[in-house]
Amino acid sequence: MDSFEVGPTMTITVKLFATLRKFLPPDAVKKAAILELSEDATTDAIVEMLNIPDGQVHLILIDGKHAVNGSPVHDGAVVSFFPAIAGG
């Protein structure tokens, strides 16, 4: 992420649900934030950028479709992270 050479970037929207909302950056609106990532970024880069601890993201959607940790994202993607919750 801290490469000296600034490569091509892309902009994505990340949405965090339930217990993950606390990891939203301060400029987030409701549960969504806009992030700028390097062009070859995966979902892991988003998790890292938002400082979400390991093991807390359990379901990932990219544009409403099921994805997994490490899935590539694309410019304009809406990436949603859901935690496991157990309340009843």
Partner 1 sequence: MARLTSQELLAKTRSEIKEISMGELKNKLANGDDFVLVDTREQDEYAQGFIGEATHIPRGFLELRIEALEPDRDKEIVLYCAGGNRSALAAKSLEAMGYTDVISMAEGFNGWRDAGFEVAQERTLNTEERERYSRHLIVPEIGERGQVKIIESKVLLVGTGGLGSPSAFYLAAAGVGTLGLVDFDTVDVTNLQRQIIHGTSDVGRPKVVSATETINDLNPGVKVVQHEERLVSDNIMDIIKDYDIVVDGCDNFETRYLVNDACVMAGKPNVHGSIYQFDGYATVFHPGEGPCYRCLYAEPPPPGAVPSCDEAGVLGVLPGTIGLIQATETLKLILGVGDTLVGRVLMYDALDMTFQTFNVPKDPSCPLCGENPTIHELIDYQAFCGITAAGG
Q: Residue 72: what residue type?
A: P
> Least distance to partner 1 from the beta carbon of 31, Å?
8
List the interface residues with partner 1, window 21-60 (CB under 8 A): 30-31, 53, 55-56, 58-59
Candidates 33, 38, 40, 19; CA nearest to 79 is 33
> Least distance to partner 1 from the beta carbon of 87, Å?
4
One of 9, 11, 19, 38 touching partner 1 (CB under 8 A): 19
Q: Which residues contact 3 (CB under 8 A, 6 or more apart)?
A: 38
Number of residues that bind partner 1 (CB under 8 A): 21
